[in-house]
Amino acid sequence: MTIVDARAVSRVFPMPAGPVTALRSVSLTLSAGEHVAISGPSGCGKSTLLHLIGGVDTPTTGSIVFEQRDLSRLSEPERARIRLMRIGFVFQRFFLLPMLTAAENIELPQAEAGVAAGERRARTRELLEYVGLADRADHLPSQLSGGEMQRVAIARALSNRPALLLADEPTGELDEETSAHIADLFDRVNRDGTAILVVTHNPALASRASRRLVMTSGRVLA
Amino acid sequence: MTAFRLASRTIRRYRAQTGLAVAGVAVIGALLFDMLLLSRGLLLSFGDLLDRAGFDVRVSGGGGMSLRLPIPDSSSLVAAIRALPEVRRAAEIRIQTAILRTRVGRPVGITLVGADGANEGGWTIVAGTDLTALPAPPPRCPLIVGRPLAVQLGVGPGDAVALAIEPAGTATALPSLECRIVGVAQFAFGTATDDTVATTLGAFHEAAGEVGEDEAELILVSSTREAGPMAAIEAIQRVRPGARAYSNEQVVEQFNRNGFAYFRQISLVLSSLTMAFAFLLVATLLTVSVNQRLGEIAALRAIGIGRARVAAMLLWESALLVGGGGLLAIPLGEILATGLDRILRQMPGLPEQLHFFVFEPRALAIHLVVLATTAIAAAAYPVWLATRLPIAATLRREVVG
């Protein structure tokens, strides 16, 4: 079943020196449970495509349909609800809230979704065990290593059981060994049924995907 | 995870920033609180002094409260007023400048008040006896001397003095009257250099050489609890249509319009300025804080945290900063007000018991409302910034940065 259907998507950024075309008529489909990696040189439009699929940006032309809903026709609150419930985001810089513990960071999207407190705590415990950080629940991000922070970020992305996990350079700030652990975790998440679209420069991480795409100059080559 | 909890965690995380904001708002809030106390302090204090004097209606012959004209045929008017069912008691007041000479000292100029029944509330005896509690036979000319004058002259109850009426700017050849000080008092409107001396109306008439003159400067009236001052005023004006009668509230209102508007205007200008400072301080700190956390906020929005929660979080941050500072501002403002009041009350010619800074619940309520408004206003731009930021562009900038 197709969960993402991007058709002839272009994105042009207006700049003082003139418009910059980041994406040129890109079409892409993603099926449920699929694991796709996108690679390419910096500035080729990988992150822009990821942002458009994640509904945090809208295409200049073309359409992105996520689970039968055209994202560009939705209001920001509607897109925020889809991001909250159906899409998980993992960022290169983790972006955990520094004043919240690991467990609280994971609980936050559930609280926004209106999950009851008891259920939230149980789900959070389950996710912390899932990412191997059950003993770090009460630690602040500043007390965690980079790899641990990224694992908490992945747990946070999974907290509302999304259909799709979007990861933008998730190993960009990690060493090789930690990156391998994160790649293992992504494999496990995917095996458990969540589709993954990962944008990465890391060939080892990209090699884990079932489908690998390469982008250059705003176009998907393969 | 409520917005309040997120906000409280955030302000605890940025301790230095929070400390600066709270301290800044506390100082500014203290100034605001003082301005609010000052804006009506004199009026409240003045009204309180009027009320404490024990009379709630003042009757004059015309010319308003600041320029009182004598009341012709005042004795009969006082008698008629005393007979009114709306009136509990009435006192006839004569005022004149005079010279007081002690046995050893040089003569001093005084303000002589001839009062009949004004003792209850008009002054408080601090030594000796009152005019109404004199031993029999009463002295021919009993005097109550204001405390500062008694200290200045070194006199007290039992001392004999000579009194001579000497109207300002008028040459008289009135003989001195031998008087005896029966008490030392704190006059309700007495200043730090108070030169007031009170005596009975009979002694006043004798000292003034008045025979058949019957023109009091003021009649003080206390209405009955049931009737109230307005009913008493109506009744007095029915008895003597030409007489000008004012309730304490009307006197205060008259002073508010004429004498004290200055303080209100100053206080309005200064409180507006202090709130502008508070607004700028909190808005700047919050804006800086939001700018430092743009990546974090963009990520929050990306993972589906709604604009409402982000806005509520920032509003709570502002409320906690302003609220914390605002609460500290109250005791700080009280301390500051006490000091400023002490300084201002040293101005010459002011009644000793008059205060510039007077607490009233209304001031506290306005203080809280103004601070709440400031908190909301200060959060407006940071909220707009956080809820309208382009998520994708911000995330990209954060990574590239």
Could you tell me the pLDDT band of residue B212, with boundaries at 50, 70 and 90? low
Same domain, B233 and B268: no
Neighbours of A70 (CB within 10 A): 12
Whether residue B188 is found in the same domain as residue B76: yes
Domain identity same for B292 and B175: no
Query: What value does the CA radius of gyration of chain A take, rounded to a whole number of Å?
Result: 17
Q: Is the reported ipTM for this assembly greater than 0.85?
A: yes
Q: In this structure, is residue A24 part of a structural domain?
A: yes
Task: Choose among A56, A80, A99: nearest Cβ to B12.
Answer: A99
pLDDT at B342 over 70: yes
CATH code at A15?
Answer: 3.40.50.300
How many beta carbons lie within 10 A of that of residue B143, not counting itself? 28
Residues B140, B141, B144, B147: is their CA dihedral positive or negative? negative
- Identify the pLDDT of residue B74: 84
* Helical ranges in B53-118 per DSSP H: 74-82
Q: Tokens for B77, please give them.
A: 């008017």
Q: Are residues B367 and B227 in the same domain?
A: no
- What would the pLDDT profile of A50-98 be if each residue is shown by its tens digit? 999 999 999 999 999 999 999 989 999 999 999 999 999 999 999 999 9
Among candidate residues B73, B163, B148, the one with its CA nearest the CA of residue B113: B163
Indicate if B82 and B197 belong to the same structural domain. Answer: yes
Of the pLDDT bands very low, low, confident and very high (cuts 50, 70, 90), residue B19 is very high
Residue to substitute from A12, A47, A112, interface B, most B β-carbons within 10 A = A112
| pTM summary value | 0.76
- What is the pLDDT averaged over residues A205-222? 91
State CA B62 to chain mean position distance: 26
pLDDT for B207: 85
Q: Find, among B114, B119, B145, B149, the residue nearest to B131 by Cα.
A: B119
Q: Which two tokens stand for residue A119?
A: 């259920």
CA dist A171 and A202 (Å) reads 7
Higher pLDDT, A3 or B260: A3
B389-399 pLDDT per residue, tens: 999 999 988 87
CB-based contact B395:B295 (threshold 8 Å): yes
Give the domain-ending residue among B213, B242, B271. Answer: B242
Question: Within a domain: residue A77?
Answer: yes
* Count of domains forming chain B: 2
Query: Of B303, B388, B397, which to mutate for an interface test with A (greatest number of A Cβ within 10 Å)?
Result: B303
Question: Rounded CA gap, B90 and B87, in Å?
Answer: 7
Q: Are residues B43 and B134 in the same domain?
A: no
Tell me: pLDDT of B382 over 70: yes
Residues B85 and B224 reside in one and the same domain: yes
Average pLDDT over residues A131-146: 95
In a domain, residue B248? The reply is no
CA distance A78 to A189: 26
A159: closest chain B residue by CA:
B303
Q: Tokens for B16?
A: 């230095």
Answer whether residue A7 is part of any domain: yes
> Is residue B29 domain-resident?
yes
Domain that holds residue A169: 2-99+162-220
Predicted confidence (pLDDT) at residue B32 exceeds the cutoff of 60: yes
Q: How far apart are CA B321 and CA B282, in angstroms?
A: 8
The verdict on a CB contact (< 8 Å) between B303 and A56 is: no
pLDDT of B106 above 60: yes
pLDDT at B313: 93
- Return residues 242-301 of B near A (CB < 8 Å): 295-296, 298-301
The answer to whether position A79 is within a domain reads yes
Question: DSSP state, B139?
Answer: P
Angle at B374 between CA B372 and CA B380, to 5 degrees: 105
Outline where DSSP puts E strands in B18-86.
57-60, 71-72
Q: How many CB pairs under 8 A join A and B?
A: 95
Q: Please report where in the chains the tokens 């004999």 appear, as a residue.
A: B160
Residue A8 covered by a domain: yes
Q: Is B82 helix (H, G, I), strand (E, B) or coil?
A: helix
CB of A53 closer than 8 Å to CB of B388: no
Range of the domain at B101: 62-242
Q: How far is B328 from chain A (nearest CA, A)?
A: 25
Same domain, B148 and B221: yes
Winning range, highest mean pLDDT, from A14-18, A31-35, B161-165: A31-35
Element (H, E) at B13: helix B3-13
Q: Which residue is closest to A48 within chain B, CA to CA?
A: B392
Domain end position, chosen among B215, B242, B269: B242
3-state secondary structure of B166: coil
Q: What is the predicted pLDDT for the residue at B261?
A: 74
Closest chain B residue to A166, measured at CA: B303
Per the domain annotation, does A113 fall within a domain?
no
Distances (CA, A) of B215 to A9, B197, B264: 100, 19, 37
Tokens of A70: 């055209």
Which range (B170-174, B264-268, B395-399) has the least confidence? Answer: B170-174
C-alpha span between A23 and B371 (Å, rounded): 49
Is residue A58 included in any domain, yes or no? yes
With respect to residue B249, please indicate whether it lies within any of the assigned structural domains. no
Q: Which residue has the tokens 């100082």?
A: B27
For B107-144, the pLDDT digits (tens) are 888 888 888 765 666 788 899 998 888 877 888 899 99
Question: B383 vs chain A: nearest CA distance in angstroms?
Answer: 16
A173, A93 contact by CB (below 8 A): yes
The whole-angstrom distance between A86's CA and the closest CA on chain B is 10
- Mark yes or no for CB contact A83/B302 under 8 Å: yes
Token pair 């301290």 is at which residue? B23
Whether B194 and B86 map to the same domain: the answer is yes
Measured in angstroms, the CA of B293 and the nearest CA of chain A are apart by 10
Percentage of the residues of chain A whose pLDDT score is greater than 70: 100
Q: pLDDT per residue over A166-210, tens digit each?
A: 999 999 888 999 999 999 999 999 999 999 999 999 999 999 999
Q: What would the two tokens of residue A27 be?
A: 């079409």
Question: Given B242, B270, B301, which residue is the final one in a domain?
Answer: B242
User: Is A98 in Cβ contact with B305 (below 8 Å)?
Assistant: no
**Is residue A140 situated within a structural domain?**
no
A194 burial level (CB within 10 Å; 0-12, 13-18, 19+)? buried
User: Measured between beta carbons, which residues in chain B are less than 8 angstroms from residue A95?
Assistant: 295-296, 298-300
Nearest to B301 by CA among A148, A57, A67: A57
How many folded domains does chain A comprise? 1
- B67 φ, ψ to 5°? -125, 85
pLDDT at B244 over 90: no
Measure CA B203 to chain center: 35
Q: Are B146 and B195 in contact (CB under 8 A)?
A: yes
Q: Does B170 have pLDDT greater than 80?
A: no
Residues B115 and B32 in one domain: no
Does any domain span residue B66? yes
Beta strands, E only, B228-345 = 244-247
Q: Which chain B residue is nearest to residue A88, measuring alpha carbons?
A: B303
In chain A, pLDDT over 90 holds for what percent of residues?
91
Q: Which residues of B265-296 are buried (b: 16+ CB within 10 A; e: fewer)?
A: eebeebbeebbebbbebbbebbbebbeebbbb
Work out the mean pLDDT of chain B and round it to a whole number: 86
d(CA A87, CA A196): 10
Mean pLDDT calculated for residue range A152-173: 94
- Are B143 and B227 members of one domain? yes
pLDDT at B67 over 60: no
* β-sheet bridge partners, residue A215: A220
Name the residue among B155, B214, B51, B3 with its Cα closest to residue A112: B3
For position B92, what pLDDT does the model report? 87
| Residue B45 host element (H or E) | helix B15-52
Q: DSSP alpha helices (H): ranges in B53-185?
A: 74-82, 119-122, 147-153
How far away is chain A from the Cα of B17, in angstroms, using its nearest Cα? 15
CB contact under 8 A, A169 and B399: yes
B158 and B298 part of one domain: no
Residue B254, domain member (yes or no): no
- Mean pLDDT across A145-171: 95
**Taking a C-beta distance cutoff of 8 angstroms, is the pair B386, B314 a contact?**
yes
- Closest A-chain CA to B308: A77
Report yes or no on B107 lying in a domain: yes
